[in-house]
Amino acid sequence: QAQLVESGGGLVQAGGPLRLSCAAAGRTFSNYAMGWVRQAPGKERDFVAALRWGGGRTYYADSVKGRFTISRDNAKNTVYLQMNSLKPEDAAVYYCAAGQGWPDSASGYDYWGQGTQVTVSS
């Protein structure tokens, strides 16, 4: 059974950095998109960033372009989200996800992690 495990969430001051990690276990997502989707309280889930595991193409929401970077470590079967210059509006539960749908859409994923909370203080 496939499993995605997120880590790295926490409290950070506005303007600061935070790095999230997502470790995949149970299978190899060689032909999948790996992405990050977030959900703020009272809001719908929004796409944040994604990459093709076996390729080099990356995708970013307009709201995070230039601030967030998605990357992978093939040896560790892990995907990262480096978040810089965090804003209060970035506060949300961040979910790691894998799927074969549209990688830049929150609806394009089939496997989900449990989520990790990111809180940004002003």
User: Which amino acid is present at 79?
Assistant: V
Which region among 2-6, 25-29, 41-45, 103-107 has the lowest average model confidence (pLDDT)? 25-29
User: Which amino acid is present at 20?
Assistant: L
**pLDDT value for 100:** 86
Rounded distance, CA 30 to CA 78, Å?
Answer: 12
User: Which amino acid is present at 111?
Assistant: Y
User: Which amino acid is present at 75?
Assistant: A
pLDDT at 1 over 80: no
Rounded distance, CA 38 to CA 116, Å?
Answer: 9
* pLDDT: which is higher, 3 or 117: 117
Q: What is the pLDDT of residues 46-73, one digit of tens each?
A: 999 999 876 678 999 999 999 999 999 8
